[in-house]
Amino acid sequence: MDGRSLSEVWTNVLGTQPDPPRWLVLTAAVVALVAVVPHPLWRISRNVVTIAHEGGHAAAAVLSGRRLTGIRLHSDTSGVTVSRGKPYGPGMVATGAAGYITPSLLGLLGAVLLTAGHITALLWLAVVGLAALLVMIRNVYGVASVLVTGGLVFVVSWFGTPTAQAGFAYAFTWFLLVGGARPVVELQRLRRRGQAPQSDADQLARLTGLHPLLWVALFAFVALTCLLLGARWLLG
């Protein structure tokens, strides 16, 4: 990492990159679908969605004035974010609601950046976000998950060719958009079977008095809206 390399990277982060060919954008979308749709691959790739999910809880907790104490990520792709503060009120509601919508919102943000040509900036924002999240992880599996994800993004952003960076950035964005929707479907399936009494939707229902299905519907609306808008921008 010499001074010239750092200067070049910084210039790329602040600048824009040319739009990739359409075949690359479509290939990235197919790669994302392959990572999300087949269950065996989803069991692995879902860890990335969990990182975004718990990161959303953590960010909402901090922004709402709560004290974030730690995040744990588990090998079954579940996670938990612990914060201190009032066990009720707007801050607690915002913290609880942020998890399921964050992956989709991050995917939409990625689509905005890519549409504007900020491919390198997207990759480095991901590295910075994962590094900030890492300091709050409180278990070994969680640390390993964030390190592997962040390390992969860093390697591509530092050593990858412009084509490799564009392909990875588009695939990552497609993955967040598509992968952000599947957990909402899984959530309602588990709730219908009575297997998720402590889900985010049920906790929010107890906090607000609104039926848990309304919260699931909100999660689904955000995920679908982000997917449709993001797809339109990426393909446009």
pLDDT score recorded for residue 11: 82
Which of 112-115's residues contact partners 24+ apart within 8 Å by CB, and which partners? 112/233, 114/169, 114/170, 114/173, 114/233, 114/234, 115/233, 115/234, 115/236
How far CA 30 is from CA of 36, 37, 45, 172, in Å, comes to 10, 10, 14, 11
Tokens 């599996």, residue?
Answer: 141
Residue 186 lies in a domain: yes
Residue 8 lies in a domain: no
Residue 149 lies in a domain: yes
How many domains, in total, are found in the chain?
A: 1
Distance (Å, rounded) from C-alpha 174 to C-alpha 29?
A: 6
pLDDT, one tens digit per residue, over 157-189 is: 999 999 999 999 999 999 999 999 999 999 999
Count other C-beta atoms under 10 Å from residue 115's C-beta: 14
pLDDT, one tens digit per residue, over 31-90 is: 999 999 999 999 999 999 999 999 999 999 999 999 999 999 999 999 999 999 999 999
What residue numbers bound the domain in which 44 lies?
21-235
Residue 10 lies in a domain: no
pLDDT, one tens digit per residue, over 78-124 is: 999 999 999 999 999 999 999 999 999 999 999 999 999 999 999 99
For 100-119, the three-class secondary structure string (H helix, E strand, C coil) is HHHHHHHHHHHHHHHHCCCH
> Which amino acid appears at position 37 of this protein?
V
CA angle (118, 123, 129) in 5-degree steps = 120
Residue 12 lies in a domain: no
pLDDT score recorded for residue 236: 86
Tokens 């922004």, residue?
Answer: 63
The beta-strand segments (E) located in 132-180 are none
Distance (Å, rounded) from C-alpha 72 to C-alpha 137?
A: 6
Distance (Å, rounded) from C-alpha 137 to C-alpha 133?
A: 7
Residue 31 lies in a domain: yes
Instruction: Give the pairing type, strands 67-73 and 79-84.
Output: antiparallel
Residue 1 lies in a domain: no
How far CA 1 is from CA of 11, 77, 158, 213, in Å, comes to 15, 35, 10, 51
pLDDT score recorded for residue 1: 44
Residue 65 lies in a domain: yes
User: How many whole angstroms from its chain centre is CA 218?
Assistant: 17
Band the pLDDT of 12: cuts 50, 70, 90: confident
pLDDT score recorded for residue 211: 96
